[in-house]
Amino acid sequence: MKSSKRLQLIVPIIAVLLGFVLGAIVITITGKSPGGMFLAMGRTLTGIDFTGRTGINLRYVGEFILQALPITLTGLAVAFAFRTGLFNIGAEGQLMVGSLAAVAVALMVKAPPVIHPIIGILAAMAAGALWASIPGLLKARFNVHEVVVSIMMNYTALHFVNWSLLQFGSVDRVKTPEFPPSATLKSEFLANLTNGSRLNWGIIPVILAVIIFWFVVEKTTFGYRLRAVGFNKDAARYAGMKVEQNIVLSMMISGAFAGLAGAVITLGTFNFGRVLPSFEGYGMDGIAVALVGGNHALGVFLSGLLFGMLKAAQPLMQSQGIPREIASIIQASIVLFVAMKLGIEAALEFFTRKNGNSRIVSRKMGGKK
């Protein structure tokens, strides 16, 4: 158990390292030096210019954390559903209806500062939960696969949200009127701290979400039920749990995390609702974040930061003459290497132990019974 926990940590770390190595190889093949990539990433993470030409600029750090916020939340959304044995591929759509709700609260509700964004956040979570309850109900009631339903609902969300946003009145048909100052999560304090980055109070609900995720899944009776249903529906039913009800609830909570991501983007990063030509990929990023994070709260938090860094480093990489797509290549190859978990474990066995006393073998033995 102890050693398998250690493996749970080591495998993603190795996958991440291999992803960077592969990225470096690709850069070398294109005739550039991979050093530029690491400089860009170092600067994104710490704000320090390792070339020594300029000093520390914390704006990079602020932007990096900003990028990490929504994908950490969609990562939590995917991970939560996954712990109940559900694959919520619809975080994208749930995020969009969440931001629509946040826009509605910002523009239509009058409330004092602090209270106003909190109402917006709660409305966004409720909207995300409601949107996710549809695939949940269809799954629980008619055993319709949640993947199919939630993919279709992503498109529904895109067009429904775009149409709805235009009803608030728009001059250019790409954004709504600006929010009143009371409604946003903007923070002068955080912006000043990070040299004028867009970092905002959205960081607080994200940190709370990570903690709540951990507490609910690992420590509560509700989480126990969800995990039991996720691991073995028949045993859960045998023990008297209401499997269908848990499926719907799990999807709704998953959707609430995604809806919160919508609020954090809309009320924090921007201060107007945006009409989008296509998906922004937060849902897909969430799947990658959840996978690399092993569907655990802390893991999702860390992998959210990693993927946020990769996103934030792209402009800097470009300024170093390195194509920004390299970051996507690294992101994709990390996911691939994590998916190759068993292979990495086997390779670890091979290098750490010579006489074949391997854990894989002992797991086989245990698993047979």
Q: Which positions lie near other proteins, rule CB under 8 A?
A: 1, 3, 219-224, 227-228, 231-232, 234-242, 355-357, 359, 361-362, 364-369
Nearer to other proteins by C-beta: 201 or 214? 214
End-to-end CA distance of the chain: 18
Nearer to other proteins by C-beta: 159 or 219? 219
- Burial class (CB within 10 angstroms; exposed 0-12, middle 13-18, buried 19+) of 167: exposed
Nearer to other proteins by C-beta: 84 or 266? 84
SS3 state at 288? helix
Name the minimum Å distance from CB 321 to other proteins. Answer: 48
- Residues 198 and 66 sit within 8 Å (Cβ to Cβ): yes
What are the structure tokens assigned to 182, written together?
A: 């009371």
- Residues 27 and 230 sit within 8 Å (Cβ to Cβ): no
What are the structure tokens assigned to 325, written together?
A: 């797509």
What are the structure tokens assigned to 292, written together?
A: 């690399």
- Burial class (CB within 10 angstroms; exposed 0-12, middle 13-18, buried 19+) of 330: buried
| Residue the block writes with tokens 């996978």 | 291
Distance, CA of 328 to CA of 310 (rounded, Å): 8
Name the minimum Å distance from CB 216 to other proteins. Answer: 9
Name the minimum Å distance from CB 254 to other proteins. Answer: 19
Nearer to other proteins by C-beta: 62 or 223? 223
Nearest to 111 by CA among 169, 181, 206: 181
* φ/ψ of residue 112, rounded to 5: -70, 160
Name the minimum Å distance from CB 238 to other proteins. Answer: 4
Name the minimum Å distance from CB 220 to other proteins. Answer: 5
Nearer to other proteins by C-beta: 161 or 236? 236
| DSSP-derived secondary structure letter, 185 | -
Nearer to other proteins by C-beta: 342 or 361? 361
Name the minimum Å distance from CB 81 to other proteins. Answer: 17
Nearer to other proteins by C-beta: 97 or 226? 226
Nearer to other proteins by C-beta: 83 or 186? 83
Name the minimum Å distance from CB 38 to other proteins. Answer: 38
Sequence-distant (≥ 6) Cβ neighbours of residue 357 within 8 angstroms: none
| Residue 175, beta-bridge partner list | 274
Name the minimum Å distance from CB 2 to other proteins. Answer: 9
Nearer to other proteins by C-beta: 38 or 80? 80
Sequence-distant (≥ 6) Cβ neighbours of residue 123 within 8 angstroms: 101, 102, 104, 105, 263
Residue 55, phi-psi category: left (phi > 0), alpha (psi -120 to 50), beta (remainder): beta
Name the minimum Å distance from CB 147 to other proteins. Answer: 22
